[in-house]
Chains A and B, each alone.
Chain A
Amino acid sequence: MSQSLPRGRTVMTANEAAAYAVVLARAQAIGCYPITPQTLIVERLAELVAGRDDVEYANLDSEHSMLGYVIAASRVGVRTFTATSSQGLLYAHEQLHRASRERVPLVMVNVNRSVFAPWSLEPDLSDSMSQRDTGWIQLYCSSAQEVMDSILCAYRIAETVLLPVMVCAEGFLLSHTSEVVDVPDQAAVDAFIPEFRPPKEWVLDPDVPRAFSGLPEPKEYAAFQRNVADAMDEARNVIETVGSEFGSHFGRTKIGALESGGNPEADTALVSIGTIGDSARELLDDDGELLIVRVHTYRPFPAAELSSVLSRAGSVCVVDRASAFGSFGPLGGDVRSLRLEHASAVTNFICGIGGTEVTPATLRWALHQARSSSAARGGLGPMYVPEGV
């Protein structure tokens, strides 16, 4: 395998696109532990950085250690990268809380894979969505191009607000899918992502020994948590600004809070996330009375943007690809929390669990229920789309 980066229009998987983005972003410390379907990212990175003395590539003994490694590396003041999936992400769970609360600007790709038990290699979003309250910014992608672009934006966002960013991409549907990706030049990326300059008091410096994350008074502890929430709020604007700048700098569609399509005046809106939002475009071919919205930034939740784009919809149909036991799906619950001017019903559907197929037929079934069934309206939880509809 070549160590040179492709340029321009090239066929690659989202996993390869991720690896190239990380090299283009000049990550200096890469912490690795393999897990399907993410493994190809760190394998490709290993080939790309082999023999380079300006990049440290570390094989760790678990995802938990891997997160510890990139947190420590970041605190030395270098840009880092790591990637995982499913059980790996869950195993690193406590480190996720630590990374955000210590304000470490990590960038991690989570290739979404269904959660054990029973075993599955196939995609759903339960792994990363169950981490939504760990203080990580979460971006969900719908193409290999978007994975590459989101990673490049993620470094800017993370290093501006000092919060970690998780770039999420469904396994196989993206990770192992080869498609056309436009790879930017190194010089253009260098002009977009400035050198990482962490705050001085934050960096590990052997000449100035200090205690990190010691045992503060309750009030102080609470204030640190509040800082995370404030940084998350600050991220809303930063994501929009970085997205706009990215679009004009690289001549591509802006990646920000969300993407919408179809009829903005339509009475029915379909809100989804990840690749479902891409497949949903097919519905527009024969449904002129539909607005489709794909959420790209899931945390911080784009409440203002969604309220605005959904302000005219009477019926909002929210499709989740994550398990929710005992309440609404993650996205469904969040959309239901919005105050929507004209929505008489926000219905929530769950499909695509464990890699089950989500086709236009799946979404039409959900829309049909949302538009016609009174049973679905205002229920106490989500509806599960039956298989093979």
Chain B
Amino acid sequence: MKEMLFVGRGGQGVVLASQLLADTLARAGYWVQSFPEFKAERRGAPISAFLRWDEAPIHRRYKVRECDVLVVISASPPSPEIIGCVRPGGLILLNRETRFPHVGPYEIARVPGSFIARRNSVLSSEGRPMGNVAVLGACVRLLVPDGLEFLEQAIVSRMGTRAEANVVAAREGYERCTVQRRVAGDTAVEPATGPAVSGRRQSHARFPVSRTDSLLNHTGSWSEDRPVLTGECTACALCALFCPEGAIARTDHAMVIDYLYCKGCGICEVVCPVRDAITMEEVSA
């Protein structure tokens, strides 16, 4: 049996990627099992999905904590904790154009998934590139090289009118996948301690009441993109009404975004009735 871990952020199609690959592998004749790590389902929050496949029916009914393959859908590099989940001899596939200058007892492969998605207009409703399907093309190249047609069938079966562009992206991902060679200067990832995917365990409290001030939960640290207000903003405050974090407020007839709590979900940009009043900009690392 092979076990796989997909990581990314809510809204990047992490769960869909895992399901599509499960369908692909089933079409290739395997028994499969795919399921998400499910917390409060909110855009921008860390998301994991698990995939198992085998030649025999699968009876494991628990999460994947150690994997043979790690697939990183988000553009940001995986944390040492996540990398620590990969078994020796395993494989890490990154949605990334540039080298990942690290080494370990695993292979590292890359595919410029977001780049491919943008070029083929495989975009989310907010207009952001959906690199997940191109990454799947690369997965298939690395895991079941004869399986591209099965991936295409899975995409067509699932995605309806959006299938065509996604099939193109999957094919490009398949073509543009590269296994990274080691070069001088690559460093080992510092091993992480503690549990990998879920939160760190604390000693048990007597009552279910949070111990820290909720205001110290700085959800702004999640963001990969953030909204920026322009001079077109009319301060209508519709964005403030829809902001799930309450991170936008109106002061003196101008909107103010509190980036300490803005997690970059982009809902404000979508609901904004004024053209170009909010633009989403990448947060530099």
A-side residues, CB < 8 A to B, are 1, 9-11, 36-37, 117-118, 121-122, 142, 170, 172-173, 176-180, 275-276, 278-279, 281-282, 357-359, 387-388
Could you say which residues of chain A place their CB within 8 Å of the CB of B19? Answer: 11, 178
Contact A142 B61 (CB under 8 A): yes
How far apart are the CA atoms of A210 and B39 in the complex, in Å?
50
Q: Return 16 A-B CB contacts under 8 Å, by A number.
A: A9-B26, A37-B38, A173-B35, A176-B35, A178-B18, A178-B33, A178-B35, A180-B26, A180-B31, A275-B61, A278-B61, A279-B59, A281-B59, A357-B63, A358-B62, A359-B62
- In the assembled complex, the Cα of A3 lies from the Cα of B31 at a distance in Å of 26
For A122, the chain B residues whose CB sits under 8 A away are: 38
The residue among A142, A177, A281 with the most chain B CB atoms within 10 A of its own CB is: A177
Contact, CB under 8 Å: B26 / A11 = yes
Given contacts A142-B61, A178-B19, A278-B61, contact A118 B35 (CB under 8 A): no
The DSSP consensus for interface residues of chain A is loop
> A179, B32: Cβ atoms under 8 Å?
yes
Residues in A neighbouring B40, C-beta threshold 8 A: 121
Residues on B close to A: CB < 8 A?
18-19, 22-23, 26, 31-36, 38-41, 58-63, 160, 201, 208
- Inter-chain contact A279/B60, CB cutoff 8 Å: yes
Inter-chain contacts of B33 with A (CB < 8 A): 177-179
For B39, the chain A residues whose CB sits under 8 A away are 121
Set of chain A residues within 8 Å of B18, measured between Cβ atoms? 178
For A352, the closest partner residue in chain B by CB is B62
Bound complex: CA of A121 vs CA of B22, how far in Å? 24
> Nearest chain-B residue to A173 (Cβ)?
B61
Query: Could you tell me the distance between the alpha carbons of A178 and B34 in the complex, rounded to whole angstroms?
Result: 5
Instruction: Known pairs A10-B26, A357-B63; list 12 more (Cβ under 8 Å).
Output: A11-B26, A11-B32, A173-B35, A177-B33, A177-B35, A178-B22, A178-B23, A178-B32, A179-B31, A275-B61, A278-B60, A359-B62
In the complex, are the beta carbons of B22 and A11 less than 8 A apart? yes
Instruction: Kindly provide the distance from the CB of A231 to the nearest chain B CB, expressed in whole angstroms.
Output: 32
Q: Which residues of B contact A121 (CB under 8 A)?
A: 38-40
Residues of A within 8 A of B62 (CB): 173, 279, 357-359
Distance in angstroms between the alpha carbons of A313 and B226 in the assembled complex: 63
Contact check: which of A9, A117, A172 meets B35 at CB < 8 Å? Answer: A172
- Which of B36, B59, B208 makes the CB contact (< 8 A) with A176? B36
Chain A residue contacts of B35, Cβ below 8 A: 172-173, 176-178
Chain A residue with minimal CB distance to B50?
A177
Shortest Cβ gap from A355 to chain B (Å): 9
CA distance A173 to B60 in the complex (A): 10
- Nearest Cβ distance between residue A2 and chain B, in whole angstroms? 8
In the assembled complex, the CB of A267 is this many whole angstroms from the nearest CB of chain B, namely: 24
